[in-house]
Chain A
Amino acid sequence: AQSVAQPEDQVNVAEGNPLTVKCTYSVSGNPYLFWYVQYPNRGLQFLLKYITGDNLVKGSYGFEAEFNKSQTSFHLKKPSALVSDSALYFCAVSLSGGYQKVTFGIGTKLQVIP
């Protein structure tokens, strides 16, 4: 079975400060990892993913995430937060190989304070 944990319901950060949204995962094999963002009353939008290769993945809107196999983590980061980054962020995991479903975390609300 696969699972993903987002330990923080909400993260508050001041505009201009670096932000981190945490994600840890559990799979019995090599994971595919994703971050999506959801703005109010909208669908989920893809930010970035780790499939293989470089552990540091860069994505949309200046976001990046680092795959850490030993800590089974895939934290989302951005060097300087914008008020417009305020949204709900979902981490997701799937297994490589075979026909797998993608499992989403419960989401972390990011609030960037002006």
Chain B
Amino acid sequence: DTAVSQTPKYLVTQMGNDKSIKCEQNLGHDTMYWYKQDSKKFLKIMFSYNNKELIINETVPNRFSPKSPDKAHLNLHINSLELGDSAVYFCASSQETRAGYSGNTIYFGEGSWLTVV
């Protein structure tokens, strides 16, 4: 069974469109993340949710809206896509709690390759 699964794996879309990426984890973790990896492989956190509650919201354009219907799912919706949004988006999860970070391992999905044309 895949621990962190995200769909779609590849997505090609036109500028101005709205798209969503779905993510599910079956590890029983409380915390989920979205990371963005750019063309230079630089990896940066976008959002973090703990038990459906937003914890980290980096300086991401408000065209990006995460939604967590339950602690096992964290979807990413992107409005009005721009060329600069082309990247690989990774969903991840860990067993961190609100009590404080204790160095739990982050488990990554396989990535969603978004190309905006």
Residues of chain B with a CB closer than 8 A to A32's CB: 101, 103
Number of A-B contacts (CB under 8 A): 61
**Does A90 sit at the interface, judged by CB under 8 A?**
yes
* Chain B residues in 8 Å Cβ range of A41: 111
| Contact flag A94-B111 (CB < 8 Å), given A88-B41, A101-B45, A101-B56 | no
- The answer to whether A43 touches B108, judged by C-beta atoms less than 8 angstroms apart, is yes
Number of chain B residues whose Cβ lies closer than 8 Å to a Cβ of chain A: 26
Interface string of A28-44 (1 = CB under 8 A from B): 00001010101001111
Q: For residues 87 through 102 of chain B, which have their beta carbon under 8 Å from a beta carbon of chain A?
A: 90, 92, 96, 98, 100-102
The size class of the interface chain A forms with chain B is: 20 to 34
Question: CB within 8 Å of A: which of B45-71?
Answer: 45, 48, 50, 55-56
Chain B residues in 8 Å Cβ range of A45 = 108
User: In the bound complex, do residue B102 and residue A96 qualify as a contact, i.e. CB atoms below 8 Å apart?
Assistant: yes
* A–B pairs, 6, beta carbons within 8 Å: A38-B41, A43-B109, A94-B101, A94-B103, A104-B43, A107-B42
